[in-house]
């Protein structure tokens, strides 16, 4: 049985810059898990009790700790040592047994060494895929991950499509966070609009791979995976945690261009295609 969790982190832990420390990041991730990931998995009838779960790119552990509180047997993997240390502290503080591994999932060889021959009922890719080097690596990573999935297992994937107003991950940046599509304007204008932050932001944004709904679904179609659930949001559930705004589902999911520029969150449940 899952242990009874302590009182959940409240809004006092959140600030304008949600990621100013590993601790703040962890509290934010936890609230996202409770308010978004777990309800989504519940709607999709994905069982967590006693499920073996991998959270790839687990950050400071908030999501995987929340899943462990639901009775899942969890492994979190991240390349950032400070995040892993904070994740272990959070798991200890909340009284759940979670294993954490320091490894860089950008390198498939490291991923293979870290996971060895383990298999999972559920693999979590929450706000992770858009940080891979390029679209090709998204395909390679998904192809590799299916080998760590049990026959009846699922992959949960969520990401902000590249052409939406805030796909540039502006939330933690002064000035920039208020400007929709900032990531798409010419770099010279970025320096005019935010001269104190533009250079550092460009270094960060260079890590984003421009993943779109169309490119992601094409990748899945070409792999032995199948989409069994999809939810698109104009205002994704995470915005409720960040800004206290209501969640708004997409009403134009069938119109490709409008779908790409108005969807701030795309959520998917995948499984082996042979189980369709």
Instruction: Look at residue 1 and tell me if it is in a domain.
Output: no
Q: Are 85 and 91 in contact (CB under 8 A)?
A: no
Same domain, 64 and 135: yes
Give the end of a domain, one of 207, 233, 263: 207
Q: Are 9 and 27 in contact (CB under 8 A)?
A: yes
Same domain, 134 and 200: no
Instruction: Count CA within 13 A, CB hemisphere, residue 148.
Output: 25
Strand pairing report for 225-235 and 265-272: antiparallel
Query: DSSP letter string over 51-93?
Result: -EEEEET-TTSHHHHHHHHTT-EEEEEES-HHHHHHHHHHHHH
Quote the pLDDT of residue 88: 96
In whole angstroms, what is the distance from residue 124 CA to residue 214 CA? 20
| pLDDT tens digit sequence for 95-136 | 999 999 998 877 777 788 888 889 999 999 999 999 998 999
Same domain, 124 and 186: no
β-bridge partners, 154: 122
Same domain, 150 and 187: no
| pLDDT tens digit sequence for 37-51 | 999 999 999 999 999
Residue 199: domain span: 172-207
Res 6 pLDDT > 80 = no
Beta strands in 103-191 (DSSP E): 120-126, 149-159
| pLDDT tens digit sequence for 132-188 | 989 999 999 999 998 899 999 999 999 999 999 999 998 878 889 899 999 999 999
| pLDDT tens digit sequence for 51-80 | 999 999 999 999 999 999 999 999 999 999
Same domain, 117 and 196: no
Quote the pLDDT of residue 64: 97
Give the end of a domain, one of 207, 234, 264: 207
Instruction: With H, G, I as helix, E, B as strand and everything else as coil, classify residue 191.
Output: helix
In whole angstroms, what is the distance from residue 95 CA to residue 3 CA? 7
């Amino acid at each position: 049985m899952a242990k009874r969790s302590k009182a959940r982190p409240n809004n006092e832990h959140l600030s304008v810059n949600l990621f100013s420390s590993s601790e703040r990041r962890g509290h934010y991730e936890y609230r996202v898990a409770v308010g978004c990931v777990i309800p989504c998995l519940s709607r999709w009838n994905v069982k967590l009790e006693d499920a073996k779960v991998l959270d790839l790119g687990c950050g400071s552990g908030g999501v995987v700790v929340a899943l462990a509180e639901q009775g899942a047997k969890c492994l979190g993997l991240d390349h950032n040592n400070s995040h892993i240390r904070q994740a272990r502290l959070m798991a200890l503080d909340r009284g759940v047994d979670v294993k954490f591994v320091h490894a860089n999932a950008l390198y498939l060889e490291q991923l293979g060494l870290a996971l060895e021959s383990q298999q999972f009922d559920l693999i979590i890719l929450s706000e992770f895929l858009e940080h891979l080097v390029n679209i090709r690596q998204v395909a390679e990573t998904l192809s590799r991950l299916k080998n760590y999935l049990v026959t009846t297992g699922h992959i949960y994937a969520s990401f902000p499509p590249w052409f939406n107003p805030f796909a540039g991950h502006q939330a933690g940046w002064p000035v920039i966070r208020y400007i929709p599509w900032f990531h798409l304007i010419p770099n010279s204008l970025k320096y005019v609009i935010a001269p104190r932050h533009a250079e550092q932001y460009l270094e960060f944004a260079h890590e984003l791979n421009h993943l779109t709904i169309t490119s992601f679904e094409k990748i899945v179609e070409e792999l032995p995976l199948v989409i069994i659930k999809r939810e698109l949001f104009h205002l994704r559930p995470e915005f409720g945690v960040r800004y206290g705004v209501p969640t708004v589902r997409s009403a134009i999911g069938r119109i490709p261009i409008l779908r790409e520029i108005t969807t701030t969150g795309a959520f998917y449940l995948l499984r082996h295609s042979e189980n369709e």
